[in-house]
Amino acid sequence: MGACLYGANIQANGIRQHYLRYGGKGQPLLLIPGITSPAITWGFVAEALAERFDVHVLDVRGRGLSETGPHLAYDLDSYAADAAAVIAGLELKECIVLGHSMGARIALRLGHNAPANIARMVLVDPPVSGPGRREYPAKLPWYVESIRQSLKGMSAEEMRAFCPTWTQEQLQLRAEWLHTCDEAAVVETFERFHTEDVHQDVPHIPCLALLMVAMRGGVILPEDEEELKSLSGQITVAHVPDAGHMIPWDNFDGFIQTVMNFMRPAG
């Protein structure tokens, strides 16, 4: 497995952005986590991907060790500009962008607004909610209640009430780091899941893109797959069995294998 080399901060898009680097060799890969997932909680995935890629896991603004606070905007354009500035600032040439959930929505906007240096995209179970569309199946109180509890100090066992299928190690890490997710940032982002339209970004996907669908997630339905494929000929769909929305937590091997299969050279 590719160990974590270091964590670092970069001034990019006018804010401090923190990232963790794993492996250090191969094609660069920028991993953008979901709405309440600091970079470190994706470490077990980054270690496996670092066997082949130079992995950088981003603490999205308002989470982890990146800049946070009410002075920041938490909209898709700002998030995408952050990612574009990190890719430029770290000189990640021919970069693979892998985004999960919120991170996949950010990747779609990034591909639309700043396609330079993006070689491939992996869109992991992106919320397809938006104006006039069905709601994202997760509920806001689940996030808010767990964040508020974490601010006071939270054990792995207390976190189990929110994530009952997770391992002890995964629960421990989430309990330790969830307090770094700013509640206001999370609430605004969740609300924007329903007011910001990522379908407008799909026709502008600049490269081959994998849409990874959790078979037990309920986030992406068959009709959503068909709509997204109709909007872009760049999209390949892969289904991961035995997995809810947090795919690597439920079916780690299936997740890694799906990514590696997509990244295999053609021919």
Domain boundaries, the chain: 4-133+197-263
Residue 175: predicted pLDDT:
97
Print burial letters for 212-238: b (CB count within 10 Å at least 16), e (below 16).
bbbbebebbeeebbeebeebbebbebb
Residue 266: predicted pLDDT:
57
pLDDT per residue as tens digits for the range 227-247: 999 999 999 999 999 999 999
pLDDT per residue as tens digits for the range 212-232: 999 997 999 999 999 999 999
Residues of the chain above pLDDT 90, percent? 97
Q: How confident is the model at residue 66 (pLDDT cuts 50, 70, 90)?
A: very high
Q: How many CA atoms lie within 13 A of 31 on its CB side?
A: 25
Could you tell me which residues are beta bridge partners of residue 100? 124
Q: Give the length of the chain.
A: 267
- Whether 260 shows a pLDDT value over 90: the answer reads yes
Q: Do residues 1 and 50 make contact, with C-beta atoms less than 8 angstroms apart? A: yes
User: Architecture of 4-133+197-263 per CATH?
Assistant: 3-Layer(aba) Sandwich (3.40)
